[in-house]
Structures are given as C-alpha cells and as structure tokens.
Amino acid sequence: MSGNSEINNAKVLVTGATGFIGSHLVDSLLERECNVHCLVRASSDLKWLPKERITCHVADLLDPEIPPSCLEGLEHVFHCAGVTVSRTRKGYFDVNATACRSLFERLLPAAAQLKSVVHLSSLAAVGPSADPHNPVDETSPCAPVTHYGHSKLAGEKIALEYADRLPIMVIRPPVVYGAREVNFFTYLEKLKQGWFIRVGKETRHLSIVHVQDLVRAMRIAAGSASGEDRVYLVTDGELYHWEEVSRIASEILNTRPRTLTLPESLVRFAATLSEMNAAWTGKPALLDRQRFIDIRQTAWTASSGKFFRTFDFQPEYKLQRGLEVTLDWYRRHGWL
C-alpha cells in the first residue's frame, strides 16, 4: 500500500485520553470534526480535555464496561491508555497487557463496522539497538530489557491475537515529546537551570518523535488501515544523541549548561534508594532500577522507513522545530 488518507467526521473512541498523547490525539480528532468518545476513570484528571466537545464514559480498563451507545456506529478506536511508571512488574502487565484483552473483547460486538483499532505500543517492546547507527526496524527480533518493555510486547501480542477479528494496527513510538509532557520536561528544566546531566561518559543515542507527528501518524494509520502489515515504528526519521538534544535545546533556551557526568554506579545506587522510598510511600519512583536499565542503554534508535514508505508520510517536526514549539509552550504556560 502507498499513500495515506486521514479520518474525518468519524465516530472514534480514545482510551488514555486524559494522558499526554491521548489528549493531543483528542484535540486533533476534534479538529477533523470527529465525534469523540473517551474512556476515562472516575479518578482521571480531565484538565487537558475539552469536556463540552466530547463524550466521556467512566471505565477502568482493568474492567471496562463500554456502553452500547458508545459502540453503536463506532468506526475507529485509539488505545492510548498505558502505564509508563509502576512500582511492580504486575502494575505494568495489568494495564499494558491484561487490560488490552478486556478492551478488545468488549470491542468485538462492534467488529463488523470498525475500520481500525490503533494500539499504541512502544519502541521499548522491541528493545535497544545493539549498534546506534543500525537502528531497529519492524524485522528486528523483540528483546525488551525492562518490565515496561516486556509488558508492552505482551500487549502487542494480545492485540495481534485479535487481528483476525479486529482491524488492529500497532504503532511503536520512541520517546515522545511536546506540550503537556512531564518527564522530558524535567530534562529541559534542568538545562534551563544550567545543567546537562548525563549518566556515564558514553554517548547515548536515541530516536524521538514530536507528539503532533505521532498523532497525525496514528490518524493516518487509522484512515488507511488494511492489509497484512500491522506493526509500525514511528519516529521523526532522524537519529540523535543526547548531547545534540542538549545543544539544540540550550540554543533555543539561550543557556550554556554545564555538563554533570554522574557515574553509573552512583545512579544505580540512587535508583535503589529511590525505589526503597517508593516502597515506603506506595508511590512509583521516577528513577528506579528499571528506569536505570532504560537510561544506561547505548542506543534507543529505530527506523521509521516502513511507515514513511507505506503511508507516504513525512514528519513535520524535526528536533529543532519540535523543541522550539515545545519550549515555547512551556514558557507560555509558566512551566519554564
């Protein structure tokens, strides 16, 4: 297949709509005149959602009740809900894997009319690349290195089990950045405060994608869903290393950060301590031993060539432009 088509005026269901990626997707679907339904939890913070323009259904994905009124005439589903931080392996698997089956089961009554079910996975499901300059692609064997990555791979496998009954598409992004995002933001905040913090002396490579490109890619995948190929990596098409990210962001921020190189052993120790604290408080730690495994990889690089060719897709945000608009948003909203 080549070429792409966007979805317009369609009835869509978004899970994880209150999250970073889901909320941007909702905005972009509304711009395309879609009738947007969202599954949200009773505890969800709806601050990023235009509540008056969407229909919210309260459901926890661990036991999702989808009302018949939501399934009626439903054309596209975007499954963005997921857990990116958890204190336990089970915490990742419950939502990123087990809950997927519950969701897909609930969608089966609408299978005949559904045109796409876009399942948002992650590069973490594939794992890091052995060679930074030889990025992983869709033919690479999956070898996740964290609980998160294993749970995302398990979720993909469940999604693909349903591919004979539901029009499943799996999208695997690397690091996603943009307005509203809180983790990459802390890295930018440190730069603004004058520090480029790196772990060990090794150059670490990455792929990245701006959230606007990712949600456009998801809409296009939904609008063009067909055929046997169902799994795609979506990046901005470039390979970077963190020094480069730091340089571009610092130029935009007009700062000259000093590099603070933390020994791996120190970061591992800090991760262990913070994990113990998390066990004490019951709240997941931003840095734990799982996150440390993630950080210490040499290359989280991926090739998006297959997606670009299949859907005639060109990202609109390379890092320079993506960081400009992102940093501008953080400034305008008083985050920086």
Does 191 contact ligand NAP by CB under 6 A? no
- Binding test (CB under 6 A) with ligand NAP, winner from 10, 12, 14, 20: 20
16 or 135, CB closer to ligand NAP? 16
Strands 116-120 and 168-172: parallel
One residue of 168, 176, 218, 285 binding ligand NAP per CB under 6 A: 176
Smallest distance, Å, CB 332 to ligand NAP? 20
Q: Is 58 in the site for ligand NAP (CB under 6 A)?
A: no
Biggest CA-to-CA distance, the chain: 58
* Sequence-distant (≥ 6) Cβ neighbours of residue 139 within 8 angstroms: none
Binding test (CB under 6 A) with ligand NAP, winner from 70, 80, 217, 222: 80
3-state class of 185 per DSSP? helix
> Is residue 18 a contact point for ligand NAP (CB under 6 A)?
yes
Instruction: Kindly tell me which of 91 and 255 has the beta carbon lying closer to ligand NAP.
Output: 91
According to the binding rule CB under 6 A, does residue 122 interact with ligand NAP? Answer: yes
DSSP string, 3-61: ------S-EEEEESTTSHHHHHHHHHHHHTT-EEEEEE-TT---TTS-GGGSEEEE--T
The rounded distance, in Å, linking the Cα atoms of 327 and 336 is 8
Look-up: residue for tokens 């009302």? 67
What distance in Å separates the CA atoms of residue 70 and residue 57, rounded to the nearest whole number? 8
Q: What gap in Å lies between CA 73 and CA 68, rounded to an integer?
A: 10
Q: How far is the CB of 2 from ligand NAP (least distance, A)?
A: 26
Query: Whose Cβ is closer to ligand NAP: residue 86's or residue 250's?
Result: 86
Q: Indicate if the alpha-carbon torsion angle 214, 138, 16, 148 is positive or negative.
A: negative
Judged by beta carbon, residue 122 or residue 224, the one nearer ligand NAP is 122
Minimal distance in Å, beta carbon 172 to ligand NAP?
Answer: 7
Question: Is residue 21 part of the contact set for ligand NAP (CB under 6 A)?
Answer: yes
Sole binder of ligand NAP in the list 36, 120, 278, 285 (CB under 6 A): 120
Give the range of 42-50, 244-252, 253-261, 270-278 binding ligand NAP by CB under 6 A: 42-50
Q: Are 182 and 125 in contact (CB under 8 A)?
A: no
Residues in touch with ligand NAP (CB under 6 A): 16, 18-22, 41, 43-45, 60-62, 80-84, 95, 99, 120, 122, 152, 173, 175-176
